[in-house]
Amino acid sequence: MTTANQTTANLDDKVTKLRELVKEIDFCMLTTIAESGSLHSRPMSLNGEIEANGDLWFFTYADTAKVTEVDRAEQVNVSFSDPAKQRYVSMSGTAHTIRDRAKMQELWKPELKAWFPKELDEPEIALLKVTVETAEYWDAPASWVAKTIGFIKAATTGQSAKSGENAKLNLK
């Protein structure tokens, strides 16, 4: 196998790991740029939807501040956190409002009814698509025992403690 193929295979493995991490964390923080230029974050539910290439889809109302902010400045960040398992993900890219009815039907899940009581007949329902350009994840041992063993091993060998897996990905 050539170096380029190894790099592609390595990226594919990292994207697979990224997708697994994201699918296991239901809520994230979506950060947009407010009109003032400050950052504005709010919780969002991904409902386990992440494309093979890392792109994200969120249901939203088209008349919300986040859509107004994305229409003005499309750069966003989406961050996921599962402290109990010591898993963290940060994804940056561009967001766009999509009103594709077929895509909404494809992505719809019954649990979304909590936010959209009229389901796909909800006025102003739309999708927010985040085209992910870069991502980074951290996946560390979650158990106290695993962390303790790692710290003891580091202290006795004089080496730094292993903090788990960390990877940076360029997806575009």
Return the amino acid letter for 47: N
- From CA 54, how far away is CA 14, in angstroms rounded? 11
| Statement: 3-170 belongs to CATH 3.90.470.10 | no
- Tokens 């398992």 map to which residue? 85
What is the residue extent of each domain of the chain?
A: 3-170
pLDDT tens-digit series, residues 72-125: 999 999 999 999 889 999 999 999 999 999 999 999 999 999 999 999 999 999
pLDDT tens for each residue of 28-68: 999 999 999 999 999 999 877 799 889 999 999 999 999 99
Would you state the pLDDT for residue 49? 79
pLDDT of residue 166: 87
pLDDT digit string (tens) for 152-168?
555 666 666 556 788 88
How far CA 111 is from CA of 31, 59, 126, in Å, comes to 23, 12, 16
> Residue 135 pLDDT > 80, yes or no?
yes
